[in-house]
Amino acid sequence: MSVNKEIKKITTNTLQKMKSSGEKISMITAYDFSFAKMFDAAGIDVILVGDSASNVMAGHETTLPITLDQMIYHAQSVVRGVDRCLVVVDLPFGSYQGNSREALNSAIKVMKETGGHAIKLEGGENEVESIKRIVNSGVPVMGHLGLTPQSIYKFGTYNVRAKEAAEAEQLKKDALLLQEAGCFALVLEKIPAQLAAEVTASLHIPTIGIGAGGACDGQVLVMHDMLGINASFKPRFLRTYLDLESQINGAVQQYIADVKSSDFPNEHEQY
Ligand SMILES: Nc1nc(=O)c2c([nH]1)NC[C@@H]1CN(c3ccc(C(=O)N[C@@H](CCC(=O)O)C(=O)O)cc3)CN21
Ligand SMILES: CC(C)C(=O)C(=O)O
Ligand SMILES: [Mg+2]
């Protein structure tokens, strides 16, 4: 934690003001102290401790296996690296869908044990009661509509969502319900840009898109994807800003060669 009182911390109110003034919101995932510290220093607005940790940290096929305690471990590490960003923590599969009491307990556990600033959960209409209860307890909630990876086995694919009119209408309704329930922002994942634009215009809370086009009030990407650590993941919505996988491969190959050839360590690198 910083003792520098000059640092302007990002709050849910800041995000609301950014929507009003038209300043786009930048969000990225992080799962550990070191990366969170770099993203905070670079000026990112929001860090999401995503349940994508299940994929990129633990190597699972889906987000379903990660537990609440594992999410809490990642979130604790991220919060230690942050001075200024808003930290949002995903509630994992199975920690909130049972009933609103379970959802509230999970949200409170995250807030008590991590020092994070908000939670995110997936779903529309079905989650309204839980969201109201969590918001009423004083915990800010971010919603998540469209491609909701915790429901992958219900849908069977990671294809674009809400392409059909009926599904699009339901998503628009869900977005309004989540806003009414008290969400401070919504993630819109992998839906047509036109639909995301309509939803964004219909809400007074900000939308954060991933594969949802440029009209959203902000954008989010998984850190490994945008840094090029995850070269086999190439959905159309992804822009990569580094080719870290090949750079790390080169660095580690050079290290191996230096060890094998006894080039490392040299006389300046010993005592
Ligand atoms: N590394 C990573 N990045 C993510 O964006 C991410 C995760 N993990 N884990 C949780 C969810 C899952 N997400 C996903 C998963 C797949 C696609 C996707 O577009 N997949 C295919 C196309 C669809 C298909 O053919 O099934 C692709 O083109 O890669 C998008 C978002 C988003 N989240
Ligand atoms: C892709 C983002 C929105 C997410 O929920 C995650 O990383 O878990
Ligand atoms: Mg997630």
pLDDT tens digit string along 118-127? 999 999 999 9
Which pair of structure tokens corresponds to residue 194? 């036109």
Q: What is the domain class of 12-240 according to CATH?
A: alpha beta
Residues with CB under 6 A from ligand 1: 52, 55-56, 63, 147, 149, 157-159, 190, 222, 224-225, 230, 233-235
Stated pTM of the model: 0.96
| 141 burial type by CB count under 10 A (0-12 exposed, 13-18 middle, 19+ buried) | buried
Q: How far is CA 192 from CA 161, 189, 207, 215, 237, in A?
A: 8, 9, 14, 11, 11
Instruction: Give pLDDT tens digits for 190-230.
Output: 999 999 999 999 999 999 999 999 999 999 999 999 999 98
| 16 burial type by CB count under 10 A (0-12 exposed, 13-18 middle, 19+ buried) | middle
CA–CA dist 113, 29 (Å, integer): 19
> Could you confirm whether 127 is annotated as catalytic?
no
Instruction: Give pLDDT tens digits for 144-186.
Output: 999 999 999 999 999 999 999 999 999 999 999 999 999 999 9
ipTM, interface predicted TM-score of the complex? 0.95
